[in-house]
Structure 1
Amino acid sequence: MAGEGPWLTIVGIGEDGPAGLSAASRAAIDAAEIVIGAPRHLDLLPDIACPVEAWPVPFTAGIASLLARRGQRVVMLASGDPFWFGAGSVIARHLSPEEWTAHPAPSTFALAAARCGWPLEDVICLGLHAAPCARIRPHLAPGVRFVALVRDGDAAQALAAYVAAQGFGESAVTVLEALGGPRERIRHACAATLDFGDIAHPVAVAVEVAGTGAVVALAQGIANDWFDHDGQITKRPVRALALSALAPRHGETLWDIGTGSGSIAIEWLLAHPSTRAVAFERDPVRAARARANAAALGVERLTVVEGEAPAIAHDGPAPNAVFVGGGLSSALLDHLSATLPAGTRIVAHAVTLESETLLAQWHATHGGDLLRIELAEAQPLGTRRGWRAAYPVVQWRAVL
């Protein structure tokens, strides 16, 4: 069949088994030389003429054997919509567009929204099978609705407990088991009191957030107290100006050099789920603190590299933007200018006279924008109040 059209058909199957299969899905299965899928999915099918093969665990272990079947008519079973937190995209990236086709079934998200009466376009959809509960932290705000796919009953309990622990124990939680099939069961509870000991896989959890817990702001420059730090942190107003200068965009990668608490890199990641960030920090205690801050704010995808710039080596993709908040030196700027691709945005902050002079020199030579940031905060002064000035910060922004 090579060169004659798709040899692989990815078929989405729901808990209703063959009753929910489209005509195209049935035809693909009837014509298959082999059907491959998780044992649970294979059990949903009626007796079929061709051989079946269980997909191994972990999932990646089955990819090579699937690709070795090129030229056969192969059907791969997947849950619901294979391209919404499913296996479809993982397989498709190994194949040319001509090699495969797909017939999705209704996703668990669509079924959950229908059972709850929620408009799906307004629902945050999360796949948490292998992700920590903290992934939901940026979404916890009164009135937010989200549906999360979780691994099992224990994970569903843990998710409700996490929501309650963040100050949103009043949230309405709906536990939805085996949606669309004969085992479907839907139960309602409050996050603070949910205690179902018999939750069965597959399971989704729908949450309508309510309570008085702290909410992560959507604007750049969230409060300093969201970050554990030892004083080595880019303070909120200055951080907002730095992120505005860095201008995160869809799918971009940041290098945060001298990350300290990780605040700049973390807010870059909070800007959009497609962004990536690598934080460089020479102090192992601060590096560990940056990792913990990222995990607590649901952006555990932050990569923290321990070492001193510019000697730090990183094998990942080149950054789209670089922030230098610590370790600023002429050697570092020379290294970045010589090794990073043209078009990389760079923002550097200076507090000392020496580093300020360095940025003034680079501005004169390489252009860009030079900004002096002077802030003062009202503080008690005897029985009254006065302005306490912070050290001025000089910001250089340029495109390499």
Structure 2
Amino acid sequence: MPEPHNPEATPWLSVIGVGENGLDGLSSTARTLIAQAEYVFGGARHLGLVAPLPQGRCVAWPTPFSAGVQQVLALRGHSVVVLASGDPFFYGVGGVLARSLEAGEMLCLPAPSSVALACARLGWAQEQCHVVSVCGRPMARLRPFLQPRARLIVLSADAQTPRELARWLVELGLGTVRCSVMEALGGPNERCRSFMAKDGPPDDVASLNLLALDVPAEVTEACLPRCSGLPDTCFEHDGQLTRQEIRAVTLSALAPRAGELLWDIGGGAGSVSIEWMLAAQGCRAITLESVPERAARIARNAQALGVPDLHVVQARAPDGLGGLDTPDAVFVGGGASRPGVLEQAWAALRPGGRMVVNAVVVETEARLVQAMQEWGGRLTRLSVARLDGVGGFHAFRPAMTVTQWVASKPHSA
């Protein structure tokens, strides 16, 4: 862990944000630090923007990215400058370096970020925008943020991102989203152009660009609801699916909180894991599914519904549980009566964590009664009936009753 700040410490590393206006946008302090540094690290573009100011050795940032971090840290004690785009602590190198430094070792001089410049050009309030990067990340991560009247800033990977994004929006039924492609913001070559997703972007987009998306109010049906219990039709499945009403109650019992990890044992279609990850920022899930076809289907569902980082483990519990990160919550949708499954999951669950198990057969119900006697919690029976046709009439057709066990692990366990 970084040490408390020492006000007398002298930073050896300066991380300086550089805009497209190069030297013209740098303060006198930033100019002095760059000129006097023994080593100046940066991408080729960054080094070109500040030339010929550096008097020390200029080092182009290597590939992979982590190699550059190690090179910088190896020079601890020397005078080192790292150049970054805009604000180094916004999707930048600043946060990566800070994890390996003590307080007082690094000085950061940020420039306006590309997001700040984009919002200024568009007249958008920055705090009301969602910022999502697709640099080395799946575009599917955008899906939960595509809501009626939403405004998004998308950090592009390259010149192809605007066209790929527009095509994807059309596939989702969001062809009326107003897009703005913004290039070289803050520099002499700055360019901002708007287009409808269905019309596609201009053909001559520069590799350095970002996109601003303005989602109209009329696209409600194409947007994902932000609540527990998505319609069953959202999921590809073979019948092994926690149904919408039961899933809503299950998610409520699991009570996801930001940054928590779920174990989903017997993933089926992955619906509980997916909705867990959609519930709060940073929620993670590991789903165990032993059937290869279902495991692949879970991955497809996760991709389609905006949580491509769902970790799918093709394995059978309890054998597949070994070595997984400690869960904050556990859901067992299948295999609860198998010897060792509940015992191992309960043992792995962190103190204060929640376990939820759904059962439809009496053998599993009997096991849940034993679990309640051993670990406490509560048992609830859930019944759902949906209106269906009976000849020329209608009647409510009941689904199989689900018995649900919910328990919180005490801190003394």
Name the amino acid aligned to 1:179. Answer: L
Q: CA deviation at 1:186?
A: 0.8
1:19 corresponds in structure 2 to 24
Q: Secondary structure at the match of 1:98?
A: coil
Q: CA deviation at 1:4?
A: 4.3
CA–CA distance in structure 2, aligned partners of residues 34 and 167 of structure 1: 50
CA–CA distance in structure 2, aligned partners of residues 341 and 130 of structure 1: 32
1:294 to 302, 308, 329: 302
**Correspondence 1:308 to 2:316:** yes
CA–CA distance in structure 1, aligned partners of residues 329 and 192 of structure 2: 46
1:31 to 36, 41, 56: 36
Q: Secondary structure at the match of 1:361?
A: helix
**Correspondence 1:366 to 2:375:** yes
Aligned-pair identity in percent equals 43
CA–CA distance in structure 2, aligned partners of residues 272 and 9 of structure 1: 35
CA–CA distance in structure 1, aligned partners of residues 77 and 145 of structure 2: 45
The normalised TM-score by structure 2 is 0.93
CA–CA distance in structure 2, aligned partners of residues 126 and 340 of structure 1: 32
Name the amino acid aligned to 1:36. Answer: F
Name the amino acid aligned to 2:192. Answer: I
CA–CA distance in structure 1, aligned partners of residues 347 and 311 of structure 2: 23
1:82 to 70, 80, 88: 88
The normalised TM-score by structure 1 is 0.96
CA–CA distance in structure 2, aligned partners of residues 57 and 177 of structure 1: 24
Larger deviation, residues 141-150 vs 330-339: 330-339
Inter-CA distance 18–137: structure 2 relative to 1 (3 Å threshold): same
Q: Conserved in 1, the CA contact under 8 Å of 2:166 and 2:201?
A: no
**Correspondence 1:145 to 2:146:** no
Q: Write the deviation string for residues 309-342 of structure 1: whole angstroms up to 9, x where unpaired.
A: 0011453420000000011124211222334433
Q: Conserved in 1, the CA contact under 8 Å of 2:356 and 2:404?
A: yes
Q: Conserved in 1, the CA contact under 8 Å of 2:327 and 2:348?
A: no
**Correspondence 1:47 to 2:49:** no
2:3 corresponds in structure 1 to none
The 5 A counterparts of 1:329-348 are: 329=337, 330-348=339-357
CA–CA distance in structure 2, aligned partners of residues 276 and 195 of structure 1: 34
CA–CA distance in structure 2, aligned partners of residues 310 and 270 of structure 1: 26
Q: Conserved in 1, the CA contact under 8 Å of 2:290 and 2:316?
A: yes
Q: CA deviation at 1:150?
A: 0.5
Q: Conserved in 1, the CA contact under 8 Å of 2:330 and 2:349?
A: no
- Structure 1 gaps of 5+ residues are none
**Correspondence 1:379 to 2:388:** yes
Q: Conserved in 1, the CA contact under 8 Å of 2:128 and 2:151?
A: yes
1:319 to 324, 327, 333: 327
Q: Write the deviation string for residues 225-261 of structure 1: whole angstroms up to 9, x where unpaired.
A: 1110001010111111111011111111000000111
Q: Conserved in 2, the CA contact under 8 Å of 1:153 and 1:197?
A: no
Q: Conserved in 2, the CA contact under 8 Å of 1:377 and 1:389?
A: yes
Q: CA deviation at 1:63?
A: 1.6
The 5 A counterparts of 1:1-400 are: 4-48=9-53, 49-210=55-216, 212=219, 214-329=222-337, 330-400=339-409
* Count of paired positions: 398
Name the amino acid aligned to 1:107. Answer: S
CA–CA distance in structure 2, aligned partners of residues 337 and 152 of structure 1: 46
Inter-CA distance 280–357: structure 2 relative to 1 (3 Å threshold): same
Q: CA deviation at 1:26?
A: 2.2
- Structure 2 gaps of 5+ residues are 1-7
Q: CA deviation at 1:152?
A: 1.5
CA–CA distance in structure 2, aligned partners of residues 101 and 305 of structure 1: 42
| 4+ aligned runs moved over 4 Å, structure 1 | none
CA–CA distance in structure 2, aligned partners of residues 170 and 339 of structure 1: 47
Q: Secondary structure at the match of 1:11?
A: strand
Q: CA deviation at 1:344?
A: 2.5
